[in-house]
């Protein structure tokens, strides 16, 4: 299982990923990156504020239920990424939840040519969940 120590993500395969900060983030599009700015919920260790005792930094005054909702939202994004990787593989841009440019510029987005006369058949657009 992956482990995070001294700004290095260590994977069970032996691969190590050096990070600038101390966390990773996932965006709504399911792209991954570093989330090294703890500006929503963090521990204020008191070092920079004249050795005051450690405290919780919660500038948005999020409640317990709101923090649980935020955790659930991020867990769902990670689960969506995992599902898309299983479904599409790691080299297919379909793993991301974003609008991709149409591959065929002759066909309108959301349509597919079907049949010998080139009749156009409407196809369903990808599901978009409005989360949070």
| Nearest partner of 32 among 78, 1, 86, 69, judged by Cα | 78
Q: Using CA atoms, how far apart are residues 62 and 69, in angstroms rounded to an integer? A: 10
| Contact present, 84 and 76 (Cβ < 8 Å) | no
pLDDT digit string, tens, across residues 90-119: 999 999 988 766 765 444 444 444 444 444
Contacts 24+ apart (CB under 8 A), 71-75: 73/131, 73/132, 74/26
Q: Where are the alpha helices (DSSP H) in the chain?
A: 64-88
| Contact present, 56 and 43 (Cβ < 8 Å) | yes
- DSSP state, 68? H
| pLDDT range class, residue 76, cuts 50, 70, 90 | very high
pLDDT at residue 36 in the model:
77
pLDDT digit string, tens, across residues 9-63: 898 899 999 988 888 899 999 999 988 788 899 988 766 656 678 899 999 999 9
Q: Is 6 left (phi over 0), alpha (psi -120 to 50) or beta?
A: left
| Nearest partner of 21 among 33, 3, 31, judged by Cα | 33
């Amino acid at each position: 299982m992956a482990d995070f120590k001294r700004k290095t993500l260590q994977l069970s395969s032996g691969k190590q990923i050096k990070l600038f900060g101390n966390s990773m983030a996932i965006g709504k599009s399911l792209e991954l990156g570093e989330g090294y700015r703890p500006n929503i919920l963090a521990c204020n260790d008191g070092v920079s504020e004249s050795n005051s005792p450690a405290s919780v930094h919660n500038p948005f005054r999020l409640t317990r239920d709101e923090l649980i909702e935020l955790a659930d939202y991020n867990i769902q994004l990670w689960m969506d990424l995992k599902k898309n990787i299983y479904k599409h593989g790691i080299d297919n841009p379909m793993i991301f939840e974003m609008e991709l440019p149409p591959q065929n510029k002759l066909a309108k987005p959301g349509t597919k040519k079907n049949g010998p006369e080139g009749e156009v058949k409407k196809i369903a657009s990808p599901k978009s969940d409005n989360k949070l």
